[in-house]
A and B are shown apart, each in its own frame.
Chain A
Amino acid sequence: GDSVTQMEGPVTLSEEAFLTINCTYTATGYPSLFWYVQYPGEGLQLLLKATKADDKGSNKGFEATYRKETTSFHLEKGSVQVSDSAVYFCALSFNTGNQFYFGTGTSLTVIP
């Protein structure tokens, strides 16, 4: 079935370090891929998305490229800040149907 697997946390980085959170997916068909971010005690917010192979989503210094050949959508940021501390979720959905598939989330803590 369709699913998302993402890197387990927690991840702790120093400010200005490079971030990678791995995400791979299994899907029958051609899904859209997403990264959502959740700050403590809040709902999820869309961080970025890509709707087809080789698309790159980007927002707030974060980037992820839709790699069909490796079924991956890894999240990267060149220099993290304390304010990036949150839980990050990788997700996929299709144009048809109504289901969304989320990874288990990766907790990131950035220390000054």
Chain B
Amino acid sequence: DGGITQSPKYLFRKEGQNVTLSCEQNLNHDAMYWYRQDPGQGLRLIYYSQIVNDFQKGDIAEGYSVSREKKESFPLTVTSAQKNPTAFYLCASRGIAGTRVENEQFFGPGTRLTVL
């Protein structure tokens, strides 16, 4: 089955440590996204990538970094510069242009990061 996987589901880190969240997809999608969700709030865009080796900042990129070395993978690093990193992080991809799902986003199950 095609889809998006995120690991781990729960992640605990000490304050001041960098941490990398994994996102992998086997849908052959070009565009991938990272969102942050805080309790009772909507989604805020952190970064997105349209193709390999290219990515753009979203609305709240400060304190985060990404890479896109492979089409299937879009890892997010939460750095120590992120002032309040405890949140639920969602990875998504966009359906292929020219297909029935071209405007849809497909989401992974999320990673809940808690910084102690």
Contact = CB atoms under 8 A, between A and B. Distances in A.
B90 A105 contact: no
B94 interface: yes
Interface in A64-102: 89, 91, 93-95, 98-100, 102
Contact of A44 (B48, B50, B94, B107): B107
Contacts of A91: 105
Interface string A39-62: 001111110010100000000000
For the residues of A in contact with B, the DSSP-based class is strand
B103 A105 contact: no
Contacts of A43: 4, 6, 90, 92, 107-110
* Contact-size category for B: 20 to 34
A104 B50 contact: no
B31 A34 contact: no
Interface of B: 4, 6, 31, 33, 40-43, 45, 48, 50, 90, 92, 94, 97, 102-110, 112
Rank and list the top 8 A-B pairs by shortest CB-CB distance, nearest first: A43-B107, A104-B42, A32-B103, A44-B107, A102-B43, A43-B109, A93-B103, A43-B110
7 contacts: A42-B109, A43-B109, A44-B105, A51-B103, A100-B33, A100-B94, A104-B42
